[in-house]
Amino acid sequence: MHPLLDGLNPEQRLAVTTTDGPLLVIAGAGSGKTRVIVHRMAYLLDQGLARPEQILAVTFTNKAALEMKERVHQLVPPTRRRGELLVSTFHSFCVRVLRRHLDRFGGTYTRDFTIYDTDDQGRLVKACLKELGLDEKQFPPRMIQSAISAAKNRGDTPDTLPPSSDPKRDAIVRTFRLYEARLAAANALDFDDLLLLTVRLLRRFPDVADDYNDRFRYLLIDEYQDTNPPQFNLVRLLTQRQQNLCVVGDPDQSIYKFRAADIRNILDFERHYPQAKTITLARNYRSTKTILRAANAVIRHNRARREKSLTTQNATGEPIRCVVAPDAEAEADFVVGEIIRWQRQREHLPEADTRAAVLYRTNAQSRLFEEACRRRGLPYVLVGGFSFYQRAEIKDALAYLRLLLNPHDDAAFDRIVNVPARGIGKATLDILTARASQTGVSRWTATEHLLAEGSLGGRALTALSSFVSLMRGLQAMVEGATLADLLQAVVKRSGYLDMLAQEGTLEAESRKQNLEELITAAAEADERGESLRAFLDQAALVADTDLLVEQARVTLMTIHSAKGLEFPLVFIAGLEEDLFPHARAAVDPEELEEERRLFYVAVTRAKQQLYLTQAERRRVYGEEKPTDPSRFLDELPEDALAISAWAGVRAQTASAPDGRFEPASRPIGETPWRRDGSPEPRRARPGSSARPMADAPDRQGFKVGDRVEHATFGVGQIVRVADGKLDIAFPGKGIKRFVTEAAPLTKLARR
């Protein structure tokens, strides 16, 4: 056997050595797809099928591209890799093409163009709105920017967008047209342009397309399920003459629809390339049999996929622990406590074998886990975003509170005096700054002086007066209001929530959720009796601790950020309806399938042990509300789970080889059971706002501890009676919630 094929399984070897014609490699999670891509490139070079410059490999991050290139160099002797092996991202490749050929379009652009990043684009959109006399409050720049990007990715131009009488639509088209003109005048391209202009170039100038078709004899595209329409078109244009194209991906891990990724690109590959061969990599080298059985069971509920089942020669492993906590704070405490216990038991192992990850659906969920880690002295790394208290909307809200506490805090004043935009422009701020500097007073005091003098213009005078009135009104609340009420007044009265609502993007919704979580943090501080100063001090200290986590063995991240990673221990938190899956999934079948793929990705990050956690009650905008378990929990195989809960559920597992039920470890705070098998009544934990579980029977006569029978779920025990609903624990099936009056239940005699 060829040395490059040593250690590859039969499917991997076939993917490496199938070199002629189009090839689709369906690579399941943990199946070694990167190894296949690297060995395929090395094999092409070693066998003399291509020189380095005749191979183009495309992946989605510069880091991955660099690692692939280095691994190829380690496998192939120098004599076989003379020349440039091009491994890059789509955008990097497009920049290379445009630097050589962009002037073919004529005088509009030259090859020394500037690339505008997201911030540059945002500033340009704002400038266009101002030039057009459009109000940023009515037409938020982020919304306009998002709409322009979406239009470009659909292939639309300002001239192809249909006319509309809708003011927002008209504003988008007008801004889009001016935005494009300003980009051209600046000889600048945004990220979308890099892809779109490259596609346009290859279509308009066949000789350029021919050059690249002749140059690249072999193309390899990684993460093909995440390609968007322009990327798909680019691949098609590069394979017009020859079709030695290998695409690698997994439809079950397509989770970037919000970035315009189109799962149909991979599902319809054989239709686009009728001569294609398909190889499936289903042997998983990462996870236990139990974890893979769970992943396979869940993803089978999706229709938009290619059928496959992950298999492994790894051990059966531990059951998946399903834990129901009374509230979100208890959920975070339990997770951190379990990580500490798990890592202490493995102190003798290499650090890589003790790593843990906490995965969640939204960035806003990170706050409680960050705080729980700090309380327990557990170092952590936050991935996929800023630390909660470093996010712009959080810093904005806290700046309002800082200014209320100290009107002479110039940094806080500068941050929020025109956030949200209220018509206080640069000229006015320059006057304020100059007056403060000349008289040696704070910005706030200088503002009061200028207003008293009436020396400002009408618009500036009105805007500053409105800001001062806002702050004085909030100041009057400081003494008597709770922190949560004060913070809620800040985000409402300032117009911050209205700004996000008008923006109407997914990012705006995420920022709104972060503010809701901050209000929840304030409500918890109220329960602890903290003052406004103590609350702000704690928030300031959080940012400092983020600098001390370089050696942490715990990672907190959104599931989107976890793509491609693996950890011995994984917690998937917040498995509740309207959180995960997201509320949008309730009305959109495609969104639900995307959410299920996201859950599949999360499950398959775990190597040895997986926990699924849910809070019975979760605070939304400071108000605690009951939750319903995620539907994904019902899609898991019963015998792969160990069910645990705080509300008196006996922790059991049916995963023993002989089918026996064995008690699982009792989570922190779980209610003990009496000798007769009935649960002790739950009492609220000290410092918790969770309500005690009701012991009194409801109007139908059901009460906690009653045994009942259900036609589908069998015999279970009532663990909670509240709000006209029953929570019933069914061994091996988890906790199910029923509306009392409509519940098809038969009460059984106590044993």
Q: According to the per-residue pLDDT averaged within each range, which of 3-17, 415-429, 578-592 is highest?
A: 3-17
pLDDT at 665 over 70: no
What are 175-196's pLDDT values in tens digits?
A: 999 999 888 877 888 889 999 9
Q: Write down the pLDDT at residue 699.
A: 52
460's enclosing H/E stretch is: helix 458-475
**Which residue has better confidence, 82 or 450?**
450
Residue labelled with tokens 């968007």: 228
Q: What is the C-alpha to C-alpha distance for residues 315 and 300, in angstroms, rounded to an integer? A: 23
Mean pLDDT calculated for residue range 127-150: 90
Buried residues in 543-565 as b, exposed as e (16+ CB within 10 A):
eeebeebeebbbbbbbbbbbbee
- The pLDDT mean for the chain works out to 84
Q: Is 677 annotated as a binding residue?
A: no
Query: What does DSSP say about strands 356-360 and 554-558: parallel, antiparallel, or unpaired?
Result: parallel
Cα distances (angstroms) measured from residue 290 to each of 313, 324, 569: 12, 20, 14
Question: What are the distances in angstroms from CA 561 to CA 94, 291, 328, 603?
Answer: 25, 20, 22, 14
The mean pLDDT of 552-559, rounded to a whole number, is 88
- pLDDT over 90 (residue 480): no
**pLDDT number for residue 590:** 92
Alpha-carbon distance of 5 to 14, in angstroms, equals 10
Confirm whether residue 29 is marked as ligand binding. yes
111-125: pLDDT as tens digits: 878 777 776 788 789
The confidence score (pLDDT) of residue 195 equals 93
488 catalytic? Reply is no
Tens-place pLDDT, residues 693-732 = 334 455 567 887 788 888 777 888 887 777 677 878 776 5
* Strand runs labelled E in 512-592: 554-558, 567-572
DSSP secondary structure string, 696-741? S--TTS--TT-EEEETTTEEEEEEEEETTEEEEEETTTEEEEEEGG
pLDDT of residue 723: 67
Six-digit token pair at 518? 């901050």
Mean pLDDT for the stretch of residues 252-274? 92
**30 in a labelled binding site:** yes
pLDDT at 138 over 70: yes
Q: What is the mean pLDDT of the segment spanning 95-104? A: 90
**Average pLDDT of 136-160?**
88
Choose the weakest-confidence range: 268-282, 427-441, 483-497: 427-441
Q: Is the pLDDT of residue 679 over 70?
A: no
Q: Alpha-carbon distance 483 to 468, whole Å? A: 21
* Nearest one of 205, 180, 190 to 108, comparing CA atoms: 180
Do residues 266 and 225 make contact, with C-beta atoms less than 8 angstroms apart?
Answer: yes
Q: What is the average pLDDT across 627-650?
A: 78
In this predicted structure, what is the pLDDT of residue 696?
45
Q: Are 370 and 556 in contact (CB under 8 A)?
A: yes
Residue of 650, 462, 469, 36 lying closest to 282 (CA atoms): 36
Whether 644 contacts 321, CB under 8 Å: yes
Return phi, psi of residue 27, to 5°: -110, 105
605 is annotated as an active-site residue: yes
The model's confidence at residue 78, banded by pLDDT at 50, 70 and 90, is confident
Statement: residue 646 has pLDDT above 60: no
Identify the pLDDT of residue 419.
92
Q: Which of 18, 19, 34, 505 is catalytic?
A: 34
Q: Is the pLDDT of residue 258 over 60?
A: yes
* Residue of 180, 190, 222, 250 marked catalytic: 222
- The catalytically annotated residue of 253, 288, 604, 609 is 253
Cα–Cα distance, 340 to 342 (Å, whole number): 6
Using one digit for the tens of pLDDT, what is the confidence trace for 199-242?
Answer: 999 999 999 999 999 999 999 999 999 999 999 999 999 999 88
- Read off the tokens for 689: 């706002």
Please report which helix (H) or strand (E) contains residue 134, including its range: none
Burial class (CB in 10 A: 0-12, 13-18, 19+), 266: buried
One-letter amino acid at 305 equals R
Contact 653, 664 (CB under 8 A): yes
| Residue 33 pLDDT > 80 | yes
Q: What percent of the chain has pLDDT over 90?
A: 50
Per the annotation, does 665 bind a ligand?
A: no
Binned at pLDDT 50, 70 and 90, residue 342 comes out as very high
What is the per-residue pLDDT for 119? 67
- Tokens 């100059």 -> residue: 434
Closest CA to 678 of 647, 711, 699, 654: 647
Residue indicated by tokens 């509740």: 576
- DSSP symbols for 41-81: HHHHHHTTS--GGGEEEEES-HHHHHHHHHHHHHHS-GGG-
What's the angle, vertex CA 609, arms to CA 345 and CA 633, rounded to 5?
140
How much of the chain, in percent, has pLDDT values that exceed 70? 89
Q: Of 361, 391, 511, 605, which one is the catalytic site residue?
A: 605
CB-CB contact of 43 with 4 (8 Å)? yes
Residue 122 labelled as part of a binding site: no
Distances (CA, A) of 711 to 12, 155, 384, 654, 714: 47, 54, 45, 20, 6
Q: What is the pLDDT of residue 366?
A: 92
Which letter does DSSP use for residue 629 in this model? B
Average pLDDT value for residue range 299-310: 94
SS (H, E, C) 232-266: HHHHHHHCCCCCCEEEEECHHHCCCHHHCCCCHHH
For residue 588, pLDDT over 90 is answered with no
Residue 133: predicted pLDDT: 92
741: left (phi over 0), alpha (psi -120 to 50) or beta: alpha
223 carries an active-site annotation: yes
* 31 in a known ligand binding site: yes
Cα gap 468→402, rounded to integer Å: 15
Give catalytic status of residue 34 as yes or no: yes
Residue 253 is a catalytic residue: yes
pLDDT tens-digit readout, 595-621: 999 999 999 999 999 999 999 999 877
Report pLDDT for 552.
Answer: 59
Res. 23: pLDDT tops 90: yes
pLDDT band at 321 (very low <50, low <70, confident <90, very high): very high
Pairing state between β 662-663 and 652-653: antiparallel
Length of the chain: 751
- C-alpha to C-alpha distance for 354 and 77, rounded to whole angstroms: 36
